[in-house]
Amino acid sequence: MPATERLLLPRGIYTPLPTFFSPDDEDVDLDAFAQHVRFVARAGTIPVVAGSAGEAPHLSRAERTQLISTARSALDACGLGHVPLVAGVGASSTRETISLACDAADAGADFAMVIPPGYYAGQLQKEGGRALGQFFLDVAVASPIPIVLYNFPAVSGGIDLDSDLVVRVVRASDNVVGVKLT
């Protein structure tokens, strides 16, 4: 993608959205979720769907996609279709993370946020994080939407993205547009 076409991560406040569940059957409450998406977008913040290791790993692939689609539809329906949407796509494997990024793009997300697969923390951090850098690069190459690296050591097996790794990945791929530090 030529640099002039590159979708840049906009400045602003990003709001991680909770996932609402029905108290009766524990299904995702899409109506409550859509209402909350509209609320945060009208307040001028950028919604982040299933972004972390909070509810995201407890949702099925279909539920994650349904949340993204619901968020995009909620924004479009209230005249806020221009508001960017960030979707968490982290998973325990490169292949699943790429699949989730493709699903997110198809469902209307503008950016994919990728947390490291903490289950493999020890292996990913060997040799100066070579495998971890390759994980991010493989996802960036295959993702149809730009990715945001997500550093959250407390929920990713202690993986802490250092500046050298972040710089290496960003320099190697035009499809990496930001880093979230938690």
- Distance of alpha carbon 114 from its chain centroid, rounded? 5
> For residue 156, what are the contacts with CB-CB under 8 A and spacing of at least 6?
53, 115, 116, 117, 118, 121
Q: What is the pLDDT of residues 35-60, one digit of tens each?
A: 999 999 999 999 999 987 567 888 99
Q: What is the pLDDT of residues 58-71, one digit of tens each?
A: 899 999 999 999 99
- Determine contact, residues 175/146, Cβ cutoff 8 Å: yes
Q: Is 126 a catalytic residue?
A: no
Phi then psi for 149, rounded to 5 degrees? -70, 140
pTM: 0.93
Q: What is the pLDDT of residues 114-150, one digit of tens each?
A: 999 988 899 999 998 999 999 999 999 999 999 999 9
- Determine contact, residues 55/18, Cβ cutoff 8 Å: yes
Q: Which domains, ranges and CATH numbers included, belong to the chain?
A: 11-181 (3.20.20.70)
* Alpha-carbon span 94 to 112, nearest angstrom: 14
pLDDT over 70 (residue 1):
no
Annotated catalytic residue, options 36, 38, 64, 180: 180
Q: What is the pLDDT of residues 68-107, one digit of tens each?
A: 999 999 999 999 999 999 999 999 999 999 999 999 999 9
Mean pLDDT over the full length of the chain: 92
